[in-house]
Structure 1
Amino acid sequence: MNATIFAALSICAYLGSALLIIRKFHRGDDNRAPLYLAWAAACAHFAYIAINFHNENGFNFSFVSTASLISLIVVLLLLIAILSKPIEKLGIAIFPVAAIMLGLELSFPEQLRPLHNHNWQMSIHVLTSIIAFSLLNIAALQSILLAVQDQQLKSHPPKRFILSLPPLQTMESLLFQMLGTGVGFLTISLISGFIFIEDLFAQHLVHKTVLSILAWVIFSGLLIGRSRYGWRGRTAIKWTLIGFVSLLLAYFGSKLVLELILNRT
């Protein structure tokens, strides 16, 4: 089966799942169809990546392809988390983004940058970086949802969507669980980078390293503040978003400059 067909099926399923989630909570029913459709979208997305991996003898770690892979990992992590945590509504934001990233990869193929050009040590660094970013991506979206919930409960009569969310304490607990796991993978990524990358300056990675360390300090400080001083609410939301922006600039800012700007000048 052609990879393009899998991509098209995945995009349609992602968008359909997001729409069904919106409809589900507007009506207040307990329909599981959005999740089944989301799993089908993720499987089709994975099939598309697997076919390209086979055809190109390795994964293409270019800017758009990496964004597509990260969006798939975010979707899978969300779907797994939904099995035990009430965070299905994050799919309203995550599924359309995954569809957009896959559509961009399909529409704008880039120069091949395969992973097999690196040794296994660098592969560990790259993969743990992607997993860390994916987990902290979900944490950032969770913090935005938490901010909306907090603002609605304090300033306005809560809407049906807000009333359908778990209590604030549960939402905060979920946020810090995601942050803790994400920081763990980010720590492994940074340690492996320092061990296995020989010359940060020669490889134009110093800005990525600095921003990643800054994000690690912010997230770790937030976890310590939560444990020792009980930080929560707006403090947790603000620093989660600041840390994620730093990580976003580290991961995609550097790739954007190196691949899409410098390579074309």
Structure 2
Amino acid sequence: MSLMLPAILAIVLYLGAATVLAAPMTGCPHSLRRSGLAAATLGVMLHAFVLLGAHGGRLDLHFFAALSLVACVVAALTLLVNLWRPVAGLGVIVFPLAALVLALDDFVAAPTAPMPVPLDWQIKLHVVIALLGYSLLSIAALLAILLAVQERALRSHRPGRLVRALPPLTQTEALLFRLIESGFALLTLTLLSGLMFIQNIRAQHLVHTTVLTTVAWLIFGALLWGRWRYGWRGTRAVNLTLAGMLVLALAFFGSKFVLEMILHRPGT
């Protein structure tokens, strides 16, 4: 069965969902939010279906496949976050990015990508934990950007429609730290499971990934400690969140991009 039609439908649903969720920012009624979330839910389901079919039902960690997998998980977690705290701005950013990554993986990279190699259950568990931690911290980084926009608008006493569509500043900040706490816990488990399950990090080209992930763990740990000890918030929290996420993105995809896209060598 061709996966082109499900992929196209998922892309259309993602873009439609983002458009609908952006409606309150343009003055349209908030009642459209449910329709946008429903469209995004169908988009995530089709995205997952395409991932399973395009990569033989296996966990594929090649560059574009891994990007698409992360985008699918981030989109799914964004839906869950919106059920807990209605932050439509997240979907407006996440869903178009998921559509773009899905298009790149399915229409550009998939025809020439090698089949994924089978992985032991221990490595699969390690990857799943890392994927969830990375996805939660990705959402936290996007939320930090929205928080910075919100704070700047309030300080200038000119709250635009975007700011009015967001939850109160204190709720946004509380959600940010909840996500960071959960992501940090999963990042800790990622490092521990890596020590337990990965036998030879040099042979598996994971030295840079491990070092950078540890640096990101230290940054997020310092932020949480500073929040607990000194009440860090605002600009400092935003900057540390974005710095930690940048390092983590380099850990997950920087080395993989150099290895596969530039050096044309097999990744993990």
Letter in 2 for 1:52: A
Aligned to 2:45: 43
Residue pair 1:18, 1:92 contacting (<8 A) in 2 also: yes
CA distance in 2, matches of 1:229, 1:57: 47
Please say if 1:129 is aligned against 2:130.
yes
More off after superposition, 104-113 vs 188-197: 104-113
Aligned to 1:151: 152
Q: Give the C-alpha shift of residue 113 in structure 1.
A: 5.1
1:226-264 deviation per Cα after TM superposition (whole angstroms, max 9, x unaligned): 111100000100000000000000000011011111117
Please say if 1:88 is aligned against 2:88.
yes
Letter in 1 for 2:48: F
Residue pair 1:59, 1:113 contacting (<8 A) in 2 also: no
Residue pair 1:135, 1:181 contacting (<8 A) in 2 also: yes
CA distance in 1, matches of 2:115, 2:211: 24
Please say if 1:232 is aligned against 2:238.
no
Residue pair 1:11, 1:103 contacting (<8 A) in 2 also: yes
Aligned to 1:163: 164
CA distance in 2, matches of 1:51, 1:205: 28
CA distance in 1, matches of 2:234, 2:115: 42
Unaligned ranges ≥5, structure 2: none
CA distance in 2, matches of 1:10, 1:144: 26
Please say if 1:191 is aligned against 2:192.
yes
Q: Give the C-alpha shift of residue 136 in structure 1.
A: 0.5
Q: Please report the TM-score for the alignment, with normalisation by the length of structure 1.
A: 0.94
Q: Give the C-alpha shift of residue 11 in structure 1.
A: 0.3
Q: Give the C-alpha shift of residue 51 in structure 1.
A: 2.2
Q: Give the C-alpha shift of residue 25 in structure 1.
A: 2.9
Aligned to 1:111: 113
Aligned to 1:177: 178
1:11-60 deviation per Cα after TM superposition (whole angstroms, max 9, x unaligned): 0111111111122332241222111111111111111122234xx25232
Aligned to 1:13: 13
Unaligned ranges ≥5, structure 1: none
1:129-149 deviation per Cα after TM superposition (whole angstroms, max 9, x unaligned): 111111110000000000000
Aligned to 2:70: 70
Give the secondary structure class of the aligned counterpart of 1:202: coil
Q: Please report the TM-score for the alignment, with normalisation by the length of structure 2.
A: 0.93
Q: Give the C-alpha shift of residue 78 in structure 1.
A: 0.7
CA distance in 2, matches of 1:204, 1:73: 24
Q: Give the C-alpha shift of residue 111 in structure 1.
A: 2.8
CA distance in 2, matches of 1:125, 1:254: 18
CA distance in 2, matches of 1:111, 1:160: 43
CA distance in 2, matches of 1:73, 1:185: 15
Residue pair 2:213, 2:251 contacting (<8 A) in 1 also: yes
Residue pair 1:61, 1:115 contacting (<8 A) in 2 also: no
CA distance in 2, matches of 1:227, 1:65: 38
Please say if 1:217 is aligned against 2:209.
no
Residue pair 1:115, 1:123 contacting (<8 A) in 2 also: no
